[in-house]
Structure 1
Amino acid sequence: MSIRFSPLVRDALDHGEPVVGLETGMITHALPRPLNLHIALGIERELHDAQCVPATIGMIKGEAVIGLTAEELEHLAGAEDMHRITVRDLPFAKAKGLTGGVSLAAAVHLAHQVGIKVCATTGLGGVHQTHSVDTILQESSDLTALADHPIVLVTSGVRPMLDVPGTLQRLETLAVPVLGYRSDAFAGFYVTDSGYKTDHRVDSAREIADVAKARDELGLGQALLISNPIPESMQIEDFAEHMSKALVIAAETMPAGADETQVLLATLESVTGGEAWRVNTELYRRNADLAAQIAKLLATTPYYTD
Structure 2
Amino acid sequence: MTDDAKAVRPILSDDVAQALAGGGAVVALESTIFSNLGLPAPANAEALELCKQAVHDQGATAAVVAILDGRPHVGLSQDDERRVLQGTRKVAERDLAVAQAQGWDVGVTTVSATVALAHAVGISVFATGGIGGVHRGSELSGDISADLDAIANHPVITVCAGAKAFLDLPRTLEYLETVGVPVLGWHHDWFPAFYTRSSGLPVPHRVDDEQVVCDVLRLRARPATGVLLTVPIPVEDEIPESRIDAVLTAALDSSARAGVTGPAVTPYILERIEKETEGQSVPANLALARNNAAVAARIAVALVSAAPPPAQ
TM-score normalised per structure 2: 0.89
Asked if 2 retains the 8 angstrom alpha-carbon contact of 1:59 and 1:100, the reply is yes
Tell me the equivalent position of 2:225.
Answer: 222
| One-letter identity of the residue aligned with 2:94 | R
Choose the corresponding residue for 2:152, options 142, 147, 150: 147
Structure 2 residue matching 1:299: 3-state secondary structure: helix
1:12 aligns with 2:19: yes
- 1:116 is matched with which residue? 123
Structure 1 Cα separation of the partners of residues 18 and 107 of structure 2? 25
Listed as ranges, the matches of 1:229-248 within 5 Å are 229-237=232-240, 238=242, 239-248=244-253
1:128 counterpart residue number: 135
Is contact 2:143-2:262 (8 Å) kept? no
Q: 1:88 aligns with which of 91, 94, 97?
A: 94
User: 1:265 is matched with which residue?
Assistant: 270
Displacement of 1:169 after TM fit? 0.6
Tell me if the contact between 1:146 and 1:176 (Cα under 8 Å) persists in the aligned partners. yes
Pairs within 5 Å for 1:1-306: 1-28=8-35, 29-79=37-87, 82-98=88-104, 99-130=106-137, 135-215=140-220, 220-237=223-240, 238=242, 239-251=244-256, 259-300=264-305
Give the 3-state SS of the residue equivalent to 1:195 in structure 2. coil
Q: 1:231 offset after TM fit, Å?
A: 3.7
Provide the C-alpha distance between the structure 1 equivalents of 2:96 and 2:260, rounded to a whole number of angstroms. 28
The AA in structure 2 aligned to 1:96 is Q
- Pick closer, same or farther for the CA change 1:191–1:257 going to 2, 3 Å: closer
Q: Distance in 2 between matches of 1:203 and 1:301?
A: 17
Paired with 2:287 and 2:62, the residues of 1 have a C-alpha distance of: 17
Distance 1:166 1:219, change over 3 A: closer
**1:56: how far off?**
0.3
Q: 1: distance between equivalents of 2:180 and 2:264?
A: 31
**Percent identity over paired residues:** 34
| Inter-partner Cα distance in structure 2 for 1:123 and 1:291 | 13
30 and 51 in structure 1: CA distance in 2 versus 1, 3 angstrom threshold: same
CA distance in 2, matches of 1:255, 1:181: 34
Measured after TM superposition, the shift of residue 143 of structure 1 is 0.6
Q: Which amino acid aligns with 1:151?
A: V
Q: Report how far residue 27 of structure 1 moved.
A: 2.5
Shift of 1:4: 0.8
Give distance in 2, aligned partners of 1:224 and 1:188. 18
Residue 45 (structure 1) shift: 1.6
Residue identity opposite 1:91 in structure 2: A
TM-score relative to the length of structure 1: 0.90
Question: After superposition, what is the alpha-carbon deviation per residue over 1:197-220, rounded to whole angstroms, capped at 9, x for unaligned?
Answer: 1111101222212222323xx562
1:6 and 1:66 in contact (8 A); partners too: yes
Structure 1 vs Structure 2 CA RMSD = 2.2
